[in-house]
Amino acid sequence: MKPTVSFQSKFLVAAMIVLALGSAAFAGTEKTLHSFNEATGNGPQNGVIFDAVGNLYGTAFLGGSRNCNNFEDGCGVVFEMSPKANGTWSYNVIYEFTGGTDGLHPSTQLVFDAAGNLYGATHGPVDARTSYGTVYELSPNGDGTWRFSLLYTFTGGNDGGQPDWLVMDSSGNLYGTTEEGGSYGQGVVFELSPGSNGTWNFSLAHTFTGCQDGGVPMSLAFDAKGNLYGTSQLGGLKCSPSSGGTIFELIPNSGGGWHESVLDSFDDGPSGGDTLNLIFDAAGNMYGVGILGGKNGSGVVLKLTPGSNGKWSETVLHNFNGQNGFEPQALIFGSDGQLYGTTKHGPANYGLVFEIANQAGAPENIVYAFTGGADGDQPQGPIILDQAGNIYGTTGNGGANGVGAVFEITP
């Protein structure tokens, strides 16, 4: 359990960190768009996304209905935020999970389809074990309300359990990962395809063994050509308990189905481990953050470059050392070609937003260091940028009520 720290103590610690970091800690300006509370949503973990007109959507792991009988502070919510003329943002819960057949604890980032429908997944009851998670759709009714549809309920068996990531391809098919279940109990990559009668067809793209192919998948991403890539937390070529996971590609078979190819394998050494948040540049190079590992054990920023022989070469662009961040969480390209990201922790354990150039050994610029107060504490989940280059995301703690915030940072 996180120890209780008074606001005055946090303020004094934050002031000391500012002096230690110098002006680099305030290279950007922060604006708290919303502070969560225990009643209407708290503990956001999955960032936010924009719709076509500039509204923000996201999820909170807790909050909302307390009727889910799971001894937690609410079942979780999906929310919408809209900008006002005076510069503030409105906050509206568009769906409140009940802990019934709809699931509870939304566990993945939201995804929009071309028609404006939202998709996400839940972990499902952790204590009752009557469900191992769900995949759902929210469709706008046209009057500001949204209609909930249940697409799939996991059993925790061969189909997997407790989904952690969700992406959609250009044809409207959903792909996701589960952190457990499957034939070997090491998680799966699944596919949900829409049918002609409104139903969705479930299939497995890969079942992890926990050995060379990886185990406990963490994230998925499509490149510009529609190829599917992902990361796993465990497993690797050494197939030992010390293996730090894999980066893999899923390749469609000519006769249907998929086969996996491991592109990189980690051992929690110089190249990191527990890789998250894959992104691609225009040349097809792949980037990600290793939460752990690196030469300082505090995480890394990685670049993988495809070779003519089908092999990928790895370059460590940046090693974190604790003082300049610890446990990186997210990565995104700015319009200036710079890489922007977050770390869950920083010198004062509150996290930060960083910027680095796309080259090995490039110095890190701390865009903003969170203080743990009203601005937020420990950013989690993906981040996004608007057309002006402002950065948006969520913190799992902090804010005015101590249970998370949505932030905007202008570099």
* Strand 365-369, strand 352-356: pairing: antiparallel
Domains with residue ranges and CATH for the chain: 54-338 (2.120.10)
Q: Which helix (H) or strand (E) holds 108?
A: none
* Strand 391-397, strand 377-385: pairing: antiparallel
Contact yes or no for 204/186 (Cβ under 8 A): no
Q: For residue 276, count other CB atoms closer than 10 A to its CB.
A: 22
Q: Residue 92, SS3?
A: strand
Q: For residue 113, count other CB atoms closer than 10 A to its CB.
A: 14
pLDDT at residue 17, as a whole number? 36
Q: What is the C-alpha radius of gyration for the chain, rounded to an integer number of angstroms?
A: 20
pLDDT at residue 69, as a whole number? 60
Beta bridge partners of 150: 136
**Who's near 256: CB < 8 A, 6+ residues apart?**
none
pLDDT at residue 9, as a whole number? 34
* Region for residue 310 given its phi and psi (left: phi exceeds 0; alpha: psi -120 to 50; beta: otherwise): left
Encode the chain (411 residues) as per-residue pLDDT tens digits. 333 333 333 323 333 333 333 334 447 899 999 999 989 999 999 999 999 999 999 999 999 988 776 556 899 999 999 999 999 999 999 999 998 889 999 999 999 999 999 999 998 765 555 579 999 999 999 999 999 999 999 999 999 999 999 999 999 999 999 999 999 999 999 999 999 888 999 999 999 999 999 999 999 999 988 899 999 998 888 787 667 889 999 998 888 889 999 998 886 555 556 677 899 999 999 999 988 878 888 999 999 999 888 789 999 999 999 889 999 998 999 999 999 999 999 888 899 999 999 888 889 999 999 999 999 999 999 999 999 999 999 999 999 999 999 999 998
pLDDT at residue 22, as a whole number? 35
pLDDT at residue 268, as a whole number? 53
pLDDT at residue 373, as a whole number? 96
* Strand 326-333, strand 339-345: pairing: antiparallel
Token pair 């009057």 is found at 143
Q: Which helix (H) or strand (E) holds 18?
A: helix 7-21
pTM, whole model, 2 decimals? Answer: 0.90
